[in-house]
Chains A and B, each alone.
Chain A
């Protein structure tokens, strides 16, 4: 079995490295927050409770993480269980889920370009936003961050390099990998290759 690089982080945590715990929390807490937000709605108390239980449960079981999948995938599995347990306990309706098998992305983009404000278009827009943010969250943390910095905050490659304290070349390389990872994630989640939308 080839170990996932995330396994090195969990090992360091089990050895008591404070910087490993800081990296774990800072990287995965915001992403689990969004994962839970998309499934239970905007009740902050509930989200906080579920994410806290997920992270504490993950710490207890950290030695059982074998590194066969990414740590975020493993954490999402634990989080899904906590969400299911919550709704089962309180007999609520099933948690919202989002269907990402939408092969009409091109149509949605066209309608968004036209500034369509119809309710259907607004819902579609929300779904696209959710899709994009989920893909970003599933990337390694630095890759998701650099894509946001470049395409939302408008940072240049040099500014990204300065923020990460790496060379220009390293920042460029990281951006290239991040773009490819995003394309792969998009294809996985939508059954649509990104460049098919150009045709």
Chain B
């Protein structure tokens, strides 16, 4: 056991050693400027590659569009319907709104009226908060019309929808002659014959094309080809193909929220289930209130940043986020 005298001697020795070494050599400013310039250029090139990868699920053709649908947790829904149907929450690159024949840039927090047409440029994307509380994420080179908060006309490209059980009505996406409807207790099927791709992350959808209806549940992918052929496949909740939508996730306000609420948000955005090692840890997480902001962080970064401020640590094990008390991992 160290005594106060030991601590004093340690402190003096530390001071001697570090004082002996003197200040660490610093690089010349000219070198710093040159290396920074080259490194920043390399970083910009890296970002371009990342954007192409992340926003890279583009429309295959005008007749083949892809719609990804998930059922999620609703955010607060206003009692009085606002005059706008959506608001820009996040954007990457260029997002434009049609004004007659003209296209004009739409900035973050910009509001969108019913019936408006939107488009994204190459290597761009947008996350929109719909007035009914659902989240609409728009990939690159996508063209759509927001008819109402519950009806989207997708002309070309890729969108991701996260609606909640409290959203009144079912979300409908019309793409060519296909209608994709979030399946609820009441729904109608419309005729459609255009090619389509639909991936379901949670919940289920019905896809009506001509006089045929196809059902797809969570973890399923449907491809309806122009020839009429139908292909089914599997896609897990944390498949990398969802990654682009993660980047456009709506912000989660952590201030005053519990750690459990935050983890639930991370879980539905990343597709990974949260597991607490013991019920006691889960109770403790329920009672841990967060403060501050994670604005600008995506769910993966936010998880790392938030957990570092708590008495818990996490481990990614397969498709799970395992939560335990800090230090417990080494005592296993």
Residues of A whose CB lies within 8 Å of any CB of B are 1-3, 5, 7-8, 11-17, 21, 25, 29-30, 33-34, 37, 44, 47-48, 51-52, 55-56, 59-60, 62-63, 109, 112, 125, 128-129, 132-133, 136-137, 144, 147-148, 150-153, 179, 182-183, 186, 194-195, 197-198
Contact = CB atoms under 8 A, between A and B. Distances in A.
Contacts of A195: 2, 6, 9-10, 13
B89 to A, nearest CB: 15
A29 B32 contact: yes
B35 A14 contact: no
**Interface of chain A, helix or strand or loop or mixed?**
helix
A8 B305 contact: yes
Contacts of A48: 27, 31, 34-35
Nearest to B19: A151
A108 B25 CA distance: 22
Contact of B43 (A13, A30, A144): A13
Contacts of B28: 44
Nearest to B14: A179
Given A2-B315, A11-B300, A144-B24, 17 more contacts: A8-B301, A12-B301, A15-B301, A16-B47, A30-B24, A30-B26, A33-B31, A47-B31, A55-B38, A60-B46, A62-B46, A132-B20, A148-B23, A152-B22, A179-B14, A182-B18, A198-B13
A185 to B, nearest CB: 11
Please classify how large the interface on chain B is, using the bins under 10, 10 to 19, 20 to 34, 35 or more.
35 or more
7 contacts: A51-B35, A59-B42, A59-B46, A132-B20, A133-B24, A136-B18, A152-B22
Given A1-B315, A14-B50, A59-B43, A194 B14 contact: yes
A34 to B, nearest CB: 6
Contacts of B92: 16
Interface of B: 2, 6, 9-11, 13-28, 31-32, 34-36, 38-40, 42-43, 46-47, 50, 92, 247, 296-298, 300-301, 304-305, 308, 313-316, 329
B20 A37 contact: no
Q: Is the interface of B mostly helix, strand, loop or mixed?
A: helix
A15 B225 CA distance: 34
Contacts of B27: 29-30, 33, 47-48, 51
A159 B218 CA distance: 57
Contacts of A63: 50
Contact of A25 (B26, B34, B36): B36
Contacts of B329: 2
Closest 3 CB pairs of A and B: A132-B21, A151-B18, A8-B304
